[in-house]
């Protein structure tokens, strides 16, 4: 996002102002300011750029594309906020429908980063390559162990876990190579073709 533009500096200030929102009234005021920003810069964000000789195209612009929006990063920022507002994801922690019974919600998920998320990352780092189903069971076990009253791990075991399907035995071929292996066969490409004379040069 180009912060040399007034539109860029304004949306950055609005983004920082999100951290000051603490209740519905503040959220409504922020939405009003954001709507004003969209209206103020709507025409500006419609500006188009066209290809010019000896001028490189921006990343992501195809060779045959005839034009593109000039302020693409600002348009992406606008699209992000539009989606968050449309889906009611921007002020989730103060949504009355969610907080009516449970009370205030945390503004961020930072409290998870040092707890369950970190524990799962460490688990999968220590057991790389687990099949998907095994990884799911391992995650269930780890999250269960982190709860205030963890259930008996054996309650996670289902009948199919006690009698896993047998895998057919794979018949291995004899260890003896079936033909010349790497480095033992004759190759014309390595310069070992038929040579005449001394060191490949005819004697005179």
Give the residue carrying structure tokens 């969209």: 38
What is the per-residue pLDDT for 96? 77
Share of the chain above pLDDT 70, in %: 70
183: left (phi over 0), alpha (psi -120 to 50) or beta: left
* pLDDT tens figures, 49-74: 998 888 888 888 888 889 999 999 99
What is the per-residue pLDDT for 23? 86
Residue 89 burial (10 A CB sphere; 0-12, 13-18, 19+): exposed
Residue 104 burial (10 A CB sphere; 0-12, 13-18, 19+): exposed
What is the arithmetic mean of pLDDT over 129-140?
Answer: 86
What is the arithmetic mean of pLDDT over 89-97?
Answer: 82
What is the per-residue pLDDT for 1? 64
What tokens does 76 get?
């992406």
What is the per-residue pLDDT for 109? 61
199: left (phi over 0), alpha (psi -120 to 50) or beta: left
Which of 5, 158, 15 is closest to 77 using CA atoms? 15
45: left (phi over 0), alpha (psi -120 to 50) or beta: alpha
Whether the per-residue pLDDT at 7 is higher than 80: the answer is yes
What tokens does 148 get?
């205030």
d(CA 37, CA 6): 11
* pLDDT tens figures, 139-191: 888 888 878 788 877 776 777 766 766 766 555 444 445 444 455 544 444 44
What tokens does 88 get?
């009611």
Each domain of the chain, given as residue ranges in start order, spans: 6-102, 110-158
pLDDT level of residue 193 (50, 70, 90 thresholds): very low
What tokens does 78 get?
């606008």
88: left (phi over 0), alpha (psi -120 to 50) or beta: left
Beta bridge partners of 49: 68
186 or 102: which leads in pLDDT: 102
Q: Write down the pTM of the prediction.
A: 0.53
What is the per-residue pLDDT for 53? 85
Whether the per-residue pLDDT at 137 is higher than 50: the answer is yes
């Amino acid at each position: 996002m180009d912060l040399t533009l007034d539109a860029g500096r304004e949306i950055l200030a609005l983004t920082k102002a999100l951290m000051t929102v603490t209740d519905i009234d503040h959220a409504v005021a922020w939405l009003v300011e954001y709507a004003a920003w969209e209206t103020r810069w709507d025409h500006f964000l419609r500006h188009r750029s066209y290809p010019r000789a000896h001028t490189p195209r921006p990343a992501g612009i195809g060779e045959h594309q005839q034009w593109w929006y000039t302020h693409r990063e600002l348009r992406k920022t606008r699209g992000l906020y539009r989606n968050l507002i449309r889906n009611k994801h921007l002020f989730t922690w103060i949504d009355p429908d969610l907080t009516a019974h449970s009370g205030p919600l945390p503004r961020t998920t930072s409290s998870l980063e040092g707890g369950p998320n970190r524990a799962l990352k460490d688990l999968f780092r220590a057991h790389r390559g687990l099949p998907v189903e095994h990884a799911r069971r391992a995650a269930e076990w780890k999250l269960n162990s982190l709860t205030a009253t963890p259930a008996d791990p054996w309650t996670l075991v289902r009948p199919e876990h006690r009698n896993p399907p047998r895998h057919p035995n794979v018949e291995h071929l004899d260890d003896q190579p079936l033909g010349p292996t790497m480095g033992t066969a004759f190759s014309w490409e390595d310069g070992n073709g038929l040579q005449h004379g001394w060191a490949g040069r005819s004697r005179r």
